[in-house]
């Protein structure tokens, strides 16, 4: 999801980008969009199982990649300006934009820039994670500290402002991304790891079919404290630790089976933020018009496929040109001139 320039792990293509990361981001955003579209169809068992399965690792995948691509973040003028123009400003614009459908559909107009609504939580959390990057790079055991903070966040009812529950709960995935190196991704590309990754993904899907009715949906959304979900802190911490481990394992498996060469969707993977921020409007509208046909296994499959198609469409150049003013606004007019070192 990150807009930073990826660190190459093999010779780049004509564009200078490693297609592996773009492939992974596009496949991940296809899962995100499809997952959101079938969310309202969870009365169908297969839809509920698929929703549960995808939510265990689809945002952790984006967060790991964002952490990896943020390893060179500093508080220099250029980096700070990019942080403002690619996260802070789009956050404000889309927080305001998503308040309009809520007004039309539910008769509620609530605007709070500190309390992210719907999809915008990711921009807020990524902004805070990226700001914290230099801190994690100074610690001896950053991942252990991040996991500790994640587990502790479940023991308290944190305020909704700044999306604190999700920001702290999902923090280990960002820190994990910061710790990864090109050789780790090279390891995942080995044939044996690809076979193992496919087996892990298949086993995860089978487990989701068995367990999806036994695990409360709120666990995979990371929005509430243990008490709000109805368990004590010891049980809650064990569940959270298990989900962190499961998410990391599925992320590794997903990356292992991701194509490393250029594909027809590699170019689309460079624009996943467009699909992420724009698809919510389609999802909110589509949910109001699902017919009985959608609440069937073929209907769920059709809706999921439409989600993948929608993700591709929203990453295409025409959409990017039309929405660039909001997703990647040009903010040079708002900044002072960069001073070159003498």
The model's pLDDT over 194-242, given as tens digits with 9 standing for 90+, comes to: 999 999 999 999 999 999 988 898 999 999 999 999 999 999 999 999 9
The model's pLDDT over 37-85, given as tens digits with 9 standing for 90+, comes to: 999 999 999 999 999 999 999 999 999 999 999 988 877 767 888 889 9
Integer Cα distance of 250 and 248 in angstroms: 6
Integer Cα distance of 228 and 236 in angstroms: 10
CB environment 116-153: b (16+ within 10 A), e (fewer): bbbbbbbbbbbbbbbebbeebeeeeebbebbbeebbeb
- Residue 13: is its pLDDT beyond 50? no
The pTM score is 0.90
- Residue 103: is its pLDDT beyond 80? no
Q: What are phi and psi of 213, to 5 degrees?
A: -90, -10
- Residue 5: is its pLDDT beyond 60? no
> What is the DSSP code (8-state) at residue 87?
I
**CA–CA distances in Å: residue 163 to residues 111, 148, 177:** 15, 18, 20
Integer Cα distance of 329 and 81 in angstroms: 12
The model's pLDDT over 296-309, given as tens digits with 9 standing for 90+, comes to: 999 999 999 999 99
Integer Cα distance of 27 and 296 in angstroms: 25
Strand spans (E) along 169-243? none
Integer Cα distance of 27 and 54 in angstroms: 12
Per-chain mean pLDDT for the chain: 89
Q: Residue 155 CA to chain centroid, in angstroms?
A: 24
Integer Cα distance of 206 and 200 in angstroms: 10
Integer Cα distance of 300 and 124 in angstroms: 31
């Amino acid at each position: 999801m990150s807009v930073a320039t990826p660190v190459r792990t093999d010779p780049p293509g004509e564009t200078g980008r490693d297609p592996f990361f773009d492939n992974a981001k596009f496949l991940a955003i296809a899962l995100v969009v499809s997952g959101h579209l079938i969310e309202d169809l969870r009365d169908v068992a297969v839809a509920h199982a698929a929703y549960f399965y995808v939510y265990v690792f689809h945002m952790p995948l984006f967060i790991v990649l964002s952490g990896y691509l943020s390893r060179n973040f500093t508080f220099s003028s250029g980096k700070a300006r990019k942080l403002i123009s690619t996260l802070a400003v789009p956050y404000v614009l889309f927080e305001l934009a998503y308040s309009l459908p809520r007004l039309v559909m539910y008769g509620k107009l609530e605007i709070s820039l500190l309390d992210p609504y719907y999809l915008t939580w990711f921009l807020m959390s990524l902004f805070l994670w990226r700001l914290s990057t230099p801190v994690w790079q100074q610690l001896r055991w950053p991942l252990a500290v991040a996991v500790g903070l994640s587990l502790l966040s479940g023991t308290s009812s944190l305020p909704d402002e700044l999306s604190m529950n999700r920001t702290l709960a999902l923090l280990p995935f960002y820190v994990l991304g910061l710790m990864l190196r090109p050789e780790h991704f090279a390891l995942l590309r080995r044939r044996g790891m690809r076979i193992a990754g496919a087996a892990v993904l298949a086993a995860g899907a089978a487990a989701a079919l068995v367990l999806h009715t036994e695990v409360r949906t709120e666990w995979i959304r990371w929005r509430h404290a243990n008490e709000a979900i109805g368990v004590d802190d010891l049980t809650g911490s064990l569940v959270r630790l298990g989900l962190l481990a499961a998410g990391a394992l599925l992320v590794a498996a997903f990356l292992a089976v991701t194509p490393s060469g250029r594909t027809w969707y590699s170019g689309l993977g460079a624009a996943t933020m467009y699909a992420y921020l724009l698809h919510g409007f389609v999802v909110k509208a589509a949910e109001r018009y699902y017919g009985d046909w959608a609440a069937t296994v073929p209907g769920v499959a059709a809706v999921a496929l439409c989600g993948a198609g929608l993700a591709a469409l929203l990453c295409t150049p025409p959409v990017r040109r039309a929405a660039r003013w909001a997703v990647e606004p040009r903010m040079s007019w708002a900044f002072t001139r960069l001073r070159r070192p003498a």
